């Protein structure tokens, strides 16, 4: 599908946090109904459901894979249903598939939902899942590799090559949590942290302190998408998908040639911006979903906002924070939202919709026209970039 | 031998030779006879040219630390007794990179670029893990 053919017309979301009493299907009902009401359509107009694969929740995954969402919600107009799994990059692929369903005429309006409730998964199951998700069971796991450990090695090498200081690394957390402070849907709403808080938190895997790693959270969100043409009839404020770029970087952290994924980021961003007919200087917000806060630094360099090694200073000076000249990750990325498994990128796209329709509350970036959003799966198996706009340039 | 509770490598048919070599305290690298590629991790066919014509050669066992992290917390119970331990990526002289642990030294002595050599840890009767230690001059 070419530029500006797909549009988001409505979103729904529940706040992230630890809510063991909130059941997965409650959340699914809530977010899907919210998105439908937000778009102002009738539920019978939803002709396809493409769900984001929940991680580490096998029963829910089976229920969704085998078509329970349209039936539960009584979507009598639904023509097909499926689920996309690419870890943290799932939502981006749901959008991609929705484009095909819409363009081919299978469905006019597609619902893309996600839910994850980590807090009721038995602790051992969570550990078992994340111990080997994106970690090679032959060449990495026997040596005690964890997500934290693998990303810590990226951080260590990054500091070695660029001379970035521990304070600069930690400043990414402070910046992201400033955004989260302004987000009523974040578990860290009104809970800022200081540089001192980050640097005095427990060391988990050198050089990463616990506050530089992720906290798992429960959450859910949904989007309704349709063709740009139809979107204009449904709402005065559609948000258009303008470009897409992707690169596969490799499953196994150990042998990934592009160790910092800089080249993958650069290439994917270039493709997405080219398709949109925009330059990075046209972008008002960079919605980076990079999982670990320090990766914001690599992202800034890869997209060309700063020179390699300069991004730490840039973040420390507050340029990516609320009120800064280069707002980045305005819901605070996984660090500010709590990590909802495959849900962080869903939250990011919902935020794109809010910012571009002027509904981002205290986080609103004035006169926001264009956003570059990123996603990645596993330990960094891929880099997916999309460009969004409130108009089609 | 004390019961070993940590995860063992899930061995594939085409990586069996690597682990047999490790058991004999030899570090074996898969190579392609057709295109000359050195392949790690081992594959069924050459990852560069898909040739099935592969052989194994013994590595020198020398390398340099590309990156590392001292793991202090946040591991499964079975790894807790090892804390703190050094997770590392080692670049072998042969040009391939492996994930491993740096042993026989204090974690705070480890640094990027450090010269290291392989040391074999027989963790069970069948499985030996190649780990690395600083080269002492």
Chain B residue set in contact with A, beta carbons under 8 Å: 6-12, 15, 40-41, 66-76, 79, 82, 85, 87-89, 96-101, 112, 129, 131
Range of the domain at B124: 60-137
Query: Within this chain, do residues B84 and B129 fall inside the same structural domain, yes or no?
Result: yes
| Residue B80 tokens, joined | 């807790």
The tens digit of pLDDT for each residue in A108-137 reads 999 999 999 999 998 878 877 877 788 999
Packing angle of the helix pair A166-181, A295-303 (nearest 10 deg): 90
> Is B106 inside a domain boundary?
yes
* ipTM attached to this prediction: 0.97
Q: Which among B4, B63, B87, B118 is the top mutation candidate for probing chain A, defined by the most A β-carbons within 10 Å of its own β-carbon? A: B87
A366 — pLDDT class (breaks 50, 70, 90): very high
Please indicate whether, in this complex, the C-beta atoms of A254 and B74 are within 8 angstroms of each other: no
- Whether residues B33 and B67 fall in one domain: no
Distance CA A381, CA A390 (A): 30
Confirm if A388 and A241 have CB atoms less than 8 A apart.
Answer: yes
Which residues, 6 or more positions from B52, have their beta carbon under 8 angstroms from its beta carbon? Answer: B44, B45, B46
- Which residues on adjacent β-strands are paired with residue A139? none
Cα distance between residue A201 and residue A204, in whole Å: 9
Number of domains, chain B: 2
Summarize pLDDT for A218-238 with one digit per residue, the tens. 999 999 999 999 999 999 999
pLDDT in tens, A82-114: 999 999 999 999 999 999 999 999 999 999 999
Check pLDDT > 70 for residue B42: yes
Q: Is the pTM of this model over 0.80?
A: yes
For chain A, domain boundaries: 6-122+216-234
CATH number at residue B100: 2.40.50
Q: Does one domain contain both B117 and B76?
A: yes
Determine the 3-state secondary structure of A82 from DSSP.
strand
- Which CATH number, 3.40.47.10, 3.30.2010.10, 3.30.460.10, 3.20.10.10, labels domain A6-122+216-234? 3.40.47.10
Same domain, B31 and B82: no
Q: What ranges in chain A are assigned the alpha helix state H? A: 24-39, 58-65, 68-73, 90-103, 123-132, 147-162, 166-181, 195-199, 228-234, 262-276, 295-303, 311-316, 333-337, 344-356
- Taking the CA of residue B23 and the nearest CA in chain A, the distance in Å comes to 15
Q: Does A251 touch chain B (CB under 8 A)?
A: no
If asked whether residues B32 and B52 sit together in one domain, one would say yes
Instruction: Write out chain B residues lying below 8 Å of A163, CB-based.
Output: none
User: Strands, E, within chain B: which ranges?
Assistant: 28-32, 38-39, 54-58, 62-71, 85-92, 97-102, 115-122, 128-134
Residues B24 and B73 in one domain: no
Q: What would the pLDDT profile of A173-208 be if each residue is shown by its tens digit?
A: 999 999 999 999 999 999 999 999 999 999 999 999
Task: Chain A: give the shortest CA distance to residue B112, in Å.
Answer: 8
Whether A126 contacts chain B with CB within 8 A? no
């Amino acid at each position: 599908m070419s530029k500006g053919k797909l549009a988001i017309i409505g979103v729904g979301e529940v706040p992230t946090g630890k809510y063991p009493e909130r059941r997965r299907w409650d959340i699914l009902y809530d977010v899907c109904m919210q998105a439908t009401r937000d778009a102002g359509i009738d539920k019978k107009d939803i002709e396809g459901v493409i769900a984001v694969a929940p991680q580490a929740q096998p029963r829910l995954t089976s229920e969704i894979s085998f078509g329970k969402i349209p039936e539960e919600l009584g979507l009598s107009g639904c023509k097909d249903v499926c689920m996309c799994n690419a870890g943290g990059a799932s939502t981006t692929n749901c959008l991609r598939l929705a484009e095909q369903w819409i363009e081919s005429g299978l469905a006019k309006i597609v619902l893309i939902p996600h839910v994850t409730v980590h807090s009721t998964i038995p602790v051992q199951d969570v550990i078992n899942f994340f111990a080997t998700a994106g970690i090679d069971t032959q060449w990495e796991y026997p040596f005690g590799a964890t997500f934290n450990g693998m990303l810590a090695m990226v951080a260590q090498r990054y500091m070695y090559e660029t001379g970035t200081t521990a304070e600069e690394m930690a400043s990414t957390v402070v910046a992201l949590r400033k955004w989260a402070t302004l987000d009523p849907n974040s578990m860290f709403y009104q809970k800022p942290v200081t540089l001192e808080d980050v640097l005095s938190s427990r060391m988990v895997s050198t050089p990463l302190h616990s506050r530089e790693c992720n906290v798992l959270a429960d959450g859910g969100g949904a989007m309704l998408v349709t063709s740009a043409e139809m979107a204009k009839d449904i709402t005065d404020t559609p948000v258009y998908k303008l470009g897409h770029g992707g690169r596969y970087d490799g499953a196994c952290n150990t042998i990934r040639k592009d160790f910092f994924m800089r080249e993958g980021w650069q290439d994917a961003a270039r493709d997405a911006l080219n398709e949109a007919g925009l330059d990075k200087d046209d972008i008002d917000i960079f919605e980076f979903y990079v999982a670990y806060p320090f990766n914001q630094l690599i992202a800034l360099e890869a997209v060309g906002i700063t020179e390699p090694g300069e991004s730490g200073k840039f973040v420390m000076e507050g340029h990516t924070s609320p009120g800064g000249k280069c707002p980045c990750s305005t819901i605070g990325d996984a660090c500010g939202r709590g990590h909802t498994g495959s849900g962080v990128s869903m939250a990011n796209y919902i935020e794109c919709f809010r910012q571009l329709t002027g509904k981002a509350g205290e986080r609103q970036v004035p006169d926001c026209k264009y956003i570059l959003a990123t996603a990645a799966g596993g330990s960094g198996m891929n880099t997916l970039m999309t460009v969004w706009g409130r108009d089609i340039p | 031998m004390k019961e070993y509770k940590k995860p063992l490598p899930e061995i594939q048919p085409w990586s069996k030779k690597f682990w047999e070599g490790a058991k004999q305290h030899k570090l074996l690298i898969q190579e392609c006879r057709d295109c000359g590629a050195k392949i790690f991790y081992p594959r069924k066919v050459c990852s560069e040219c898909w040739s099935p014509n592969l052989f194994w050669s013994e590595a020198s066992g020398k390398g340099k630390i590309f990156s590392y992290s001292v793991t202090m917390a946040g591991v499964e119970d079975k790894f807790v007794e090892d804390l703190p331990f050094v997770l590392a990526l080692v670049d072998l002289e042969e040009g391939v990179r492996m994930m491993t642990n740096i042993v026989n030294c204090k974690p705070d002595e480890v640094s990027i670029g450090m010269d290291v050599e392989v040391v074999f840890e027989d963790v069970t009767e069948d499985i030996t893990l190649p780990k690395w230690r600083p080269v002492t001059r």
